[in-house]
Amino acid sequence: MTTADSFTLAPSRSQRNSLGAIARLWAAMGEHAPLYVVLVVVALWASAVAIFGLPGLYLPAVGFAPMMIAMLVAITRG
């Protein structure tokens, strides 16, 4: 058996269990889930600014620019 034979891209049992736990937690949060997602994203962005400084502030916006262009194209095409 070579190392290529033992390498798989399937998630391990612990990863599958943690994904299930996250899904159950998401379902249990109910109507507050979007608020928590927004708070986590803002906290991650703030920590990026604290760690990396000014590039941590503007690089996520630069990274999302192609997505916003695609969204505008999708909106204009109907």
DSSP state of 8: -
CB proximity list for 60: less than 8 A, separation 6 or greater: 45, 48
**pTM, entire model:** 0.53
Asked whether residue 49 is domain-assigned, the answer is yes
Whether 17 is covered by a domain: the verdict is no
Whether 77 is covered by a domain: the verdict is yes
Overall domain count for the chain: 1
pLDDT digits (tens, 9 = 90+) for 5-28: 555 555 566 555 677 777 777 777
pLDDT of residue 37: 83
Determine, yes or no, domain membership for 28: no
Return d(Cα 57, Cα 61) in angstroms, integer: 8
**Could you tell me the residue range of the domain that residue 57 belongs to?**
33-78
Q: Tell me if 23 is assigned to some domain.
A: no
Residue 45 in domain: yes
* Residue 57 lies inside a defined structural domain of this protein: yes
Q: Is residue 19 part of a domain?
A: no
